Amino acid sequence: MTSPGTIRPGADREGAGGALTIAPEPFDSPDAQSLVAELAVDLDERYAADGPAEGDNPDAMAEHTVRAGQVTPPRGVLLVARVDGRAAGCAAVRPLGGGPPAVAEIKRMYTVPTARRRGVSRALLARIEAEATALGYRRLQLVTGLRQPEAIALYESAGYFRIASYGQFERDDLLVCFAKDLTSG
């Protein structure tokens, strides 16, 4: 894995910036769990109008659930971004369940609202790609939703391309899947 780095994110609309650090963290750390919980609330708010979520079905959610062992080296990693020392976002990579060994999946990509439009998500995505490459993965896949246009724009601008829906997501019209082939070095 790469070592933690510090970069300066782009200024937000008010011109504020801050020191951005991104580093691996245990999945069960308080900051990681808080960010994952905030992500769940954000997704619930975006998709609540659609009635009961597939998440209400434990069998359907088994594939979607992220477990600590999946995002711990050498299988995967969870990153936490901090702006001026405060948790601002997270992203994880884990092996793609039932997929080829060189394919991993991005999970739990999230940036808190106060840190959006400051380069945090783009920096997290670049770092998760570097971590995945260091772990031996050659392709990343992910699922996002149509009600997350900012995520779709980020992935497309970073070279991700749409692929057919996979796994439990095959029949969900609100979800889109992306992939990117990684290069070593």
The one-letter amino acid code at 70 reads: Q
Closest CA to 75 of 90, 95, 91: 95
Per-residue pLDDT tens over the stretch 26-77: 999 999 999 999 999 998 898 886 555 444 444 444 556 888 889 999 999 9
Q: Are strands 20-24 and 77-83 parallel, antiparallel or unpaired?
A: antiparallel
pLDDT band at 3 (very low <50, low <70, confident <90, very high): very low
- Mean pLDDT (the chain) is 84
Q: Which domain holds residue 165?
A: 5-181
How many structural domains is the chain composed of?
Answer: 1
Residue 28 structure tokens: 């069960």
**CATH code of 148's domain:** 3.40.630.30
Percentage of the chain beyond pLDDT 90 is 64
pLDDT at 123 over 60: yes
Which pTM was predicted?
A: 0.83
* Chain segment 147-159, per-residue pLDDT in tens: 999 999 999 999 9
Q: H or E segment at 141?
A: strand 139-145
Q: How confident is the model at residue 184 (pLDDT cuts 50, 70, 90)?
A: low
